[in-house]
Amino acid sequence: MDNVKKWIPILIITFFMGLLAGYFLPVQSDQGEEAVINTCPANVTDLTALNVALNDSRVIEFLENKSIDSIKFSGIGFDERYNYSIQIEFYLSDSEADTCLSSPRMFVKINNSCMIYSAYRPYPSYIPGCKS
């Protein structure tokens, strides 16, 4: 029993030293936001933004098995944190042509760090004067 009591203070000190080391040492990882920022070019182009959007699972899930009618790119510079963003609008072919609703679409905003700032699908709107 005396032998065990002799090791308890050493084990407690070792435990707290490990906690301090884990707190102060940075995590070495190639995953996450740092990896994306390091591979992001200085000037984000439309092609870079499109590649980022097409690698996101939310965008792929929405576009899966659908025909894209058109893609529109626009630059946005409104956010203080992310000075410049590129917005991509995916317009899909209308699968239900007999309805008076607008075609499905999706908006994806990519910031200047090659990260998706937002991705959303607006509800279809009613087309006034439409006769089905």
* In a domain? residue 89: yes
Structural domain contains residue 52:
yes
Query: Does 24 reside within a domain?
Result: no
pLDDT score recorded for residue 96: 61
Count up the domains in the chain and report the number.
1
The residue length of the chain stands at 132
- pLDDT, average across residues 25-44: 58
Domain that holds residue 77: 46-120
How buried is residue 11: exposed, middle or buried, by Cβ count under 10 Å (0-12/13-18/19+)? exposed
| Strand order from edge to edge, sheet including 116-120 | 68-76, 85-92, 105-111, 116-120
Is the CA virtual torsion 49, 55, 59, 62 positive or negative?
positive
Residue 82 included in any domain: yes
Does a structural domain hold residue 21?
no
pTM (two decimals): 0.60
- pLDDT at residue number 28: 53
Decide if 56 is inside a domain: yes
Q: What is the mean pLDDT of the chain?
A: 76
Say if 109 falls within a structural domain. yes
> Where residue 37 falls among pLDDT bands split at 50, 70, 90?
very low
The predicted-structure confidence for 49-100, as pLDDT tens digits, reads as follows 899 988 888 888 888 888 888 899 988 766 565 467 888 998 887 656 677 8
Calculate the alpha carbon distances from 46 to 34, 51, 85 in Å. Answer: 21, 9, 10
